[in-house]
Amino acid sequence: MGEVVGAGLLSHVPTIMAPLEERLALNGGKEISLVPALHRLRAEKFEQLDYDTVIVLDSHWFTTVEFIVTSQDLRAGLFTAEELPRGMCRIPYEWKGDRELAEAIAAEGEPAGTWITAIDDPYLPLYYPSINLWSYLGKGMDKQWISISVCQTGETDDFLRVGRAIRAAIEKTDRKVIIIATGSMSHTFYKLKELRKHESSDPSHIITQKARDMDHERLEWFFEGRHDRVLETMPEFLAVRPEGMFAHYLMMAAALGEDDFSAPGVQYGDYENAIGTSQVHVWFDRPEAGWTAPRTT
């Protein structure tokens, strides 16, 4: 039976793909902590854990009438981001997909009460969260990578249903999986005329004190393994506009047990700003007793 061996709520902020000299220029001569943190995550987790496939829950890939999971056997080419072509231009990529797992996830959509389709079209667009994190965590490694979209007409319960489908599919296949939920916590940009004043990674630049406070409250719950509290307070958290309705985290949480998901998080790097949005990496190891081990409170 398959299992999830590790999971992460990871930032894909475009700045990580900028050359070092540009990162230093944007941040007052100091490296943003997210980059060395990704190098640590690769060395400590992605190069050490026993796994077959990485599932990326991609908060930039919006679909409309269903969730999509990539099922190509191979994805390769050059990537230029439609949003930021100056900074993310002709990035080479090549990874194997996992058709069997993708189709198993799609097959679990209806039993979970939602709509998931596996697509193997070689011309299906890519989005930079998947590219950016593969570039740091997957490049040069013989692992399979697949991505799942966020249905933009979905709501919290829809995202949880997808997570349940992912969980069921992993259990029914002989796969060891890492799940990456990639996206921001609070996520509001400064307007164009103002944003260049707020490019520093210092979290004082995050858009509001309320956004910072709500992010930190949830980070503390992550560290305590209290994912149930994160889930039960989603209506309040949506007020600070988490990226992609926080679908990336919600799908991951449901795949790992939902209210019973109890793995404590470990922060890699700092909690940082990116022109008003929050950026942070939090990693969750699989507890010895499993993702739904009883809490001690």
Q: Contact, 280 vs 272, CB < 8 A?
A: yes
Q: Which amino acid is at 81?
A: A
Give per-residue pLDDT as tens, 210-257: 999 999 999 999 999 999 999 999 999 999 999 999 999 999 999 999
Instruction: Give the orientation angle of helix 156-172 with respect to helix 247-255, to 10 degrees.
Output: 40
In angstroms, the Cα distances linking 265 to 214, 249, 268 are: 17, 13, 10
What is the sign of the dihedral through the CA atoms of 177, 32, 149 and 163?
positive
pLDDT score recorded for residue 289: 79
Q: Contact, 177 vs 265, CB < 8 A?
A: no
Element (H, E) at 62: strand 53-63
Classify domain 3-285 at the CATH class level.
alpha beta
pLDDT score recorded for residue 293: 58
Q: Contact, 201 vs 274, CB < 8 A?
A: yes
In angstroms, the Cα distances linking 175 to 80, 143, 252, 260 are: 31, 12, 16, 22
Mean pLDDT by 10 residues, the chain (297 residues): 95 95 92 97 98 98 98 98 93 98 98 98 96 98 98 98 98 96 97 95 96 98 97 98 98 96 97 97 92 60
pLDDT score recorded for residue 297: 43
Q: Contact, 238 vs 245, CB < 8 A?
A: yes
Backbone φ, ψ for residue 4 (5° rounding)? -90, 125
For β-strands 67-70 and 116-119, DSSP reports them as parallel
Dist. CA 199–CA 87, nearest whole Å: 15
Tokens of 265: 């998080």
Tokens of 201: 């990674």
Q: Which of 84, 201, 185, 69 is nearest to 132 (CA)?
A: 84
pLDDT score recorded for residue 290: 84
Element (H, E) at 210: helix 209-224
Q: Contact, 134 vs 94, CB < 8 A?
A: no
Global confidence as pTM? 0.96
